[in-house]
Structures are given as structure tokens and as C-alpha cells.
Amino acid sequence: MLVFLKLGGSLITDKTREETPRLGIIRRLAREIRIAHRARPDLRLLLGHGSGSFGHFAAKRSRFLGRTTLDPAAYARVGAAAARLNRIVTDILVEEGVPAVSLPPSASARCSDGRLQHLATASIDTLLAGGAVPLVHGDVALDDVRGATIVSTEDVFVYLAKDVRPARIILAGEVDGVYTADPMQNPEATLIGEITPATFAEVVELLGGSAGVDVTGGMLSKVRTMVDLVAAHPELEVCVISGLEAGRVEEALTAGPDAGGTLIRGLC
């Protein structure tokens, strides 16, 4: 079984404070991933993580988006910020026994007007076949219309899903699924247990953006991307869970959709 797991930027960093990693949370998540990976011999795993308060702050400060030509200085600054967080995550994963190999999307990504058109995948196939854990992340990319853009981890997952074909995608963030309102601000918010392409229109007005700095659209953008993906690949299931509660990521990797949160699927 091949699973894509994203560790959200709001989970592994404090998105209200520039370049502030949550080191304890990253290390606990790495341990949960190691335990699940070793407990399930049939599990193949591809990891991704958001850029959090590293790339998002750098992108906003340099006004990275909205340009029509490449600004090499801004491109370098945002890419370097994203790489700094990736180095932290990679090092902790390896220290905790996860054979994670970082594959920055910017090394091969090509976009057109913000849409990912090309990404090298040969190394991912080889690493997965050998039992390693490829690690991608939100990153900068060259764009033939805008000069440069940002590709989110979800963008990378969508591109890879066409060829690599995961059985499940797990998105681990701060909150335990998709809610009718922001549960961190509204105690009356209720969990939406399941979302399908047929029901997405009913919940789209309830979904807001992201707390802190997020230049990739927040929860609404992420859910819309995943709904479009399961519509194109009905056999695929996407789980949105919280990574703040100890053991939830491990449970999602080993127990499947029964781990709770919100299930996004294409089949009714």
C-alpha cells in the first residue's frame, strides 16, 4: 500500500512567528512515522510537509506572488527559506530512524500560470521500490507565464498521483478534520465527517482561510484541490486529521480511514 502523508506547515511551525519550527512536534511525528513504517511491512510511504512560517513569511515579505517576470533575488530568498525548514525536518526524520530522502520540487518543477506541468519522478519510483521514504515540500518553481510561482505540497501530491498512484493521502494539520467553522475560534464548530464532489458545494461557504501567514490559500484551497483529485481518481481516499494529538498520525498510517477526522472520497 502506498500512502502520501503531509505534515502541514501550521502543524510543524508556528505560522504566526517567522521561521519558528515546533521541534518537539516534528520529533514526535517522526517517531510515529517510524513506528508505523516498521509495523506495516506492506506500507510504502511518501512524505511531504508545508512551508509554514518559513516560506510563507519570505514569500509575503518579498511580494513573491503577483509578478509576471522572474525576480531572481526573491526566488532565491523564498527557496532558501523553504529549504531551511526542509533541512530541519529531514534531519529529525533521519535521526529518528525514518529513511527520508529530500527531493526539493524546485530542482525539476516547471509551471504554467501557477499550475504544475512537470516534475521529475524517476528518483521517487526508485526510492519507493528500495524501501526509502521520499520527502517533498512546498517550494518555489519556475513558471513560463509568471516567471516564478509557489507549488504547495498538495500540488506535488496531485501531480504524483497520476503516475505513482497512492491508495490514500493523509493531511495532518492542527485541527482534526474539516469543520463548519474554525474550531480554534468557534467552540460550536462541528466536524464534517465526509466530503465528496457531490457534497462539496454544500460546505464550500463554510471553509475559511488559514490562521497566520499562508500564501497558498488555506483550508479552502486544500480541500478543493483534494476534492478535484478524488473526482479524477475515485479509488483514492483522502483523510484530514490532527497531528497535535499524540498517536493520531501513527493510527492513520496503520488503521486507515477508521482513524477519524474528515474523509474526502470520490465514491458515494
Q: Alpha-carbon distance 96 to 92, whole Å? A: 6
Q: What is the pLDDT of residue 208?
A: 55
pLDDT at 101 over 90: yes
Q: What is the pLDDT of residue 215?
A: 41
Identify the CATH number of the domain in which residue 237 sits: 3.40.1160.10
209 close to 224: Cβ distance less than 8 angstroms: no
Across the range 88-106, mean pLDDT stands at 98
Q: Alpha-carbon distance 28 to 22, whole Å? A: 10
Residue 71, domain extent:
2-265
pTM value is 0.92
Which three cell numbers, joined as nine digits, stand for 108? 525539476
How many separate domains does the chain show? 1
Q: Write the DSSP assignment of 12-40 as a string of letters.
A: HB-TTSTT-B-HHHHHHHHHHHHHHHHH-
How many angstroms separate the first and last alpha carbons of the chain? 22
Q: What is the pLDDT of residue 255?
A: 82
Q: What is the pLDDT of residue 26?
A: 98
The DSSP 8-state label assigned to residue 77 in this structure reads H
Q: What is the pLDDT of residue 214?
A: 44
Q: Where are the alpha helices (DSSP H) in 139-217?
A: 153-161, 200-203
What mean pLDDT value characterizes the chain?
90
Q: What is the pLDDT of residue 4?
A: 98
pLDDT at 30 over 60: yes
- At 110, the pLDDT band (50, 70, 90 cuts) reads very high
Across the range 3-20, mean pLDDT stands at 95
Which three cell numbers, joined as nine digits, stand for 158? 496531485
Encode pLDDT of 182-239 as tens digits. Answer: 777 788 888 999 999 999 988 877 775 555 444 444 678 888 999 999 999 999 999 9
Helix-, strand-, coil-residue percentages of the chain, each rounded to 5:
40, 25, 35
Q: What is the pLDDT of residue 216?
A: 43
Q: What is the pLDDT of residue 117?
A: 97
3 state DSSP class of 174 = coil
Candidates 180, 179, 190, 177; CA nearest to 239 is 177
Q: Which residue has the cell 515540500?
A: 137
- At 268, the pLDDT band (50, 70, 90 cuts) reads low
3 state DSSP class of 65 = coil
Q: Alpha-carbon distance 36 to 20, whole Å? A: 27
